């Protein structure tokens, strides 16, 4: 693997900002990713725009192996001025360098090293960081029938592969009450804020074991002297299994008001199913064997709370191995970075994984 070429490609992607909420920036980014893929793979992708969000897919023959990545980042346009691309002492920095533009570079260079791409599909989405809401069906469609999905999200600490991820659910709980003057006749109101407080306590008690139910953003009321007629809370749910995701969903939808004159509305639900270890076990074992043959350090596995598009591929029954991308740290943080010396070995590992699955 030519590290100099890989770093040139990485810089090209990082300096093209691609904030998830900016569709014009995503269109520019998709064009850059498409051009880079064309240079390395010799083929143009299918560009699929859904609700203004551009996704890219390369398909070679009948796919048996799916490689998944995303080109959007959490960084607003202009971040590059504060945190510019840099390469010093073997460390690359810049918005999105770790999550997950280095993974895209490794994908293209791994596939470029193969004698044939027959049986390979590459999917690069544009909305992973905001829940893959426009790309979900595309991911599911691409994963069905494949023998393996390799997700080029950044590695866990120390380069560990991600063999399980919690599933996610997102809810918005809205409480409706009745407004009244807080000084003259508060008894004629139905305080949505107090009702919401009861519901927040009920929600926070739902988590157990590895399952977390976290009330996050709050809103409510209109003026300081008015009994709130409405109030609401967003809820972040992380679960280790489908059974837990279903349990929490039943509990959330079964919430009942405590105060007379109030009612509750529940929006949202399960977003990504969990990536359970059973889905990745065989592929992780294969990766460990290949790493030994390549003379790499023994691979480690990690279970993480964050979700990715790997949750979706696993959810349709496709064996999935995640975290095959960059080694480094600082995802979504100013100190985001990639240890560039690790990129060639990780790229060779991916190439051998694809080759091995295609042979079976």
Structure tokens at 133: 């809401």
| Residues constituting the chain | 360
Burial 323-347 (b: 16+ CB within 10 A, else e): bbbbbbbebeeeebbbbbebbebbb
- Output the DSSP codes for 343-357: HHHHHHHHHHHHHHH
Domains of the chain: 3-165+274-359 (3.40.630.10), 167-272 (3.30.70.360)
- Nearest in space to 239 (alpha carbons), one of 173, 177, 168: 168
Q: What angle (nearest 5°) sits at the alpha carbon of residue 166, between those of residues 198 and 106?
A: 140
DSSP state of 190: B
Per-residue pLDDT, 306: 87
Q: Which of 127, 128, 129, 322 is catalytic?
A: 128
DSSP state of 97: I
**CA 160 – CA 154 distance, rounded (Å):** 9
Query: Which residues are CB-neighbours of 212 under 8 A, at least 6 positions away?
Result: 236, 237, 238, 305
**CA 326 – CA 138 distance, rounded (Å):** 24
**Which residue, chain included where needed, has tokens 């949505």?**
192
DSSP state of 235: E
**CA 215 – CA 235 distance, rounded (Å):** 4
| Contact present, 165 and 172 (Cβ < 8 Å) | no
**CA 327 – CA 338 distance, rounded (Å):** 6
Structure tokens at 308: 């990715």
The three-state secondary structure class of 281 is helix
**CA 110 – CA 44 distance, rounded (Å):** 17
Per-residue pLDDT, 360: 86
| Contact present, 25 and 9 (Cβ < 8 Å) | no
- Nearest in space to 345 (alpha carbons), one of 285, 304, 287, 282: 287
Q: Which of 17, 72, 153, 322 is catalytic?
A: 72
The verdict on whether 89 is a catalytic residue reads: no
The verdict on whether 72 is a catalytic residue reads: yes
**Which residue, chain included where needed, has tokens 């595309």?**
138
Over its length of 360 residues, how does the chain's per-residue pLDDT go in tens digits? 899 999 999 999 999 999 999 999 999 999 999 999 999 999 999 999 999 999 999 999 999 999 999 999 999 999 999 999 999 999 999 999 999 999 999 999 999 999 999 999 999 999 999 999 999 999 999 999 999 999 999 999 999 999 999 999 999 999 999 999 999 999 999 999 999 999 999 999 999 999 999 999 999 999 999 999 999 999 999 999 999 999 999 999 999 999 999 999 999 999 999 999 999 999 999 999 999 999 999 999 999 988 899 999 999 999 999 999 999 999 999 999 999 999 999 999 999 999 999 998
| Contact present, 154 and 100 (Cβ < 8 Å) | yes
Helix axes 343-359, 102-112, angle to 10 degrees: 50
Q: What sections of the chain are H helices per DSSP?
A: 3-14, 23-41, 79-82, 102-112, 136-143, 192-204, 242-253, 277-293, 309-315, 343-359
End-to-end Cα spacing for the chain: 25
Structure tokens at 270: 């399960």
**Which residue, chain included where needed, has tokens 């399980």?**
164
**CA 93 – CA 86 distance, rounded (Å):** 5
Per-residue pLDDT, 21: 97
- How much is the pTM? 0.89
């Amino acid at each position: 693997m030519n590290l100099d070429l890989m770093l040139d490609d990485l810089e090209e992607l990082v300096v093209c900002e691609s904030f998830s909420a900016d569709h014009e920036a995503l269109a520019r980014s998709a064009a850059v990713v498409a051009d880079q893929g064309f240079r390395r793979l010799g083929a143009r992708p299918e560009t699929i725009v859904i609700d203004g969000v551009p996704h890219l897919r390369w398909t070679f023959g009948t796919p048996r192996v799916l490689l998944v990545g995303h080109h959007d980042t959490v960084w607003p346009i202009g971040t590059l001025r504060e945190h510019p691309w840099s390469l010093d002492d073997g460390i690359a920095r810049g918005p999105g360098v770790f999550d997950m533009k280095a993974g895209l570079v490794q994908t293209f260079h791994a596939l470029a090293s193969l004698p044939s791409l027959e049986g390979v599909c590459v999917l690069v989405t544009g909305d992973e960081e905001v829940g893959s809401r426009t790309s979900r069906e595309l991911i599911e469609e691409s994963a069905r029938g494949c023998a393996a999905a390799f997700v080029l999200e950044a590695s866990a600490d120390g380069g560990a592969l991600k063999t399980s991820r919690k599933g996610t659910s997102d809810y918005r709980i809205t409480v409706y009450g009745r407004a009244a003057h807080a000084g003259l006749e508060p008894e004629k109101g139905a305080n949505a804020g107090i009702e919401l407080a009861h519901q927040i306590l009920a929600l926070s008690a739902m988590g157990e074991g590895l399952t977390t139910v976290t009330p996050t953003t709050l809103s409510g009321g209109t003026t300081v002297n008015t009994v709130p007629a409405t109030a609401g809370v967003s809820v972040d749910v992380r679960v280790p299994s489908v059974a837990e995701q279903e349990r929490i969903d039943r509990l959330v939808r079964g919430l009942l008001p405590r105060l007379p004159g109030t009612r509750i509305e529940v929006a949202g639900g399960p977003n990504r199913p969990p990536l359970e270890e059973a889905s990745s076990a065989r592929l992780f074992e294969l990766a460990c064997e290949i790493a030994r043959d390549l003379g790499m350090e023994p691979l480690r596995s990690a279970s993480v709370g964050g979700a990715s598009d790997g949750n979706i591929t696993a959810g349709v029954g496709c064996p999935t191995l995640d975290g095959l991308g960059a080694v480094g740290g600082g995802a979504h943080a100013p100190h985001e970075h990639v240890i560039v010396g690790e990129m060639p070995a990780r790229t060779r590992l991916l190439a051998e994984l694809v080759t091995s699955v295609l042979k079976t």
